[in-house]
Homo-oligomer: A and B are copies of this chain.
């Protein structure tokens, strides 16, 4: 069986099936972020209940604590966290560039100081493949440099060319017949010609899938959409396409409209912990006084455990008093919303009504 089967399209939007060592994933799909071996506040049974098909783990965090060799000795990340469906791990590069200190990039790789204890570490392309092999994730990512927003043309060009050389070294370090799928990443900052150049270079390397990286780093929505709409549809059609670290519900639908199959973002889980909840009627800030005596469900249209069981008044009380239960209930709801949205997207593509769903989401979130 091939890694990816494209079932049908509606414009650029694609309905497909991604096959991994831990089972199939129906695409387009959103992947909840489980940074350190848990999607914060949820257990694997909660993840199944909200409809999660695949989750993401962060290599940087797991490498530092509890350590990838320790996880390998436990039988891998799936067994360690008791999650038997697919897992994708990032390369750790993004966290090195966003969290760690004293970074130094050379041709060999990137050295950095841990944000936990200042200890020094080196991530090379070969090293991040070895770490992700230890983690045993189903989909692993190449080491790339995510250039900061505002980086100039010369630096961005040098960086994307190094990212290509690192991608080739990752490919060389990882057997093509491994059950762990390896994805390449297109970079190039916010220069359209550099994005096309990176696309050309990365897609020359035979990866199992291709990701679009370096977006949602501080740019405007218009800048993001320019890159997304130019590059998304040009990614290889026969392989899964992954938009990294993006984004809002509307961003996801725009991504699908540009031919993207896979998404991840901390937004639904982080927002849940901050009391910002997504509903069929738009965003709700649960701490607001207007919900203090509101006996209705958070979202009457939502089938999740939180909405079936509790009122807005109770959820507001839990949030205001900083009760631990608030984080779990809010996270269950926001992930149900995100995963339900992706299910609606899949049905709309199948029915040829994706443009209508896109217009509906623009109406809901742009107003």
Contact = CB atoms under 8 A, between A and B. Distances in A.
A324 B327 contact: yes
A40 B38 CA distance: 19
Interface string A278-313: 000000000000001101000000000100011101
A320 interface: yes
A295 B320 CA distance: 38
A115 to B, nearest CB: 13
A65 B310 CA distance: 17
A82 B80 CA distance: 33
A117 to B, nearest CB: 13
Interface residues of A, number: 35
Contact of A313 (B74, B305, B313, B321): B74
A323 B292 contact: no
Contacts of A74: 293, 295, 311, 313-314
A37 interface: yes
A73, A80, A305 — which one has the most chain B CB atoms within 10 A of its CB?
Answer: A80
Contacts of A230: none
Nearest to A332: B43
B36 A310 contact: no
Interface of A: 36-38, 40-44, 65-66, 70, 73-74, 80-82, 292-293, 295, 305, 309-311, 313-314, 317-318, 320-321, 323-325, 327-329
9 contacts: A36-B321, A37-B323, A38-B318, A44-B309, A66-B317, A70-B313, A74-B314, A80-B311, A82-B314
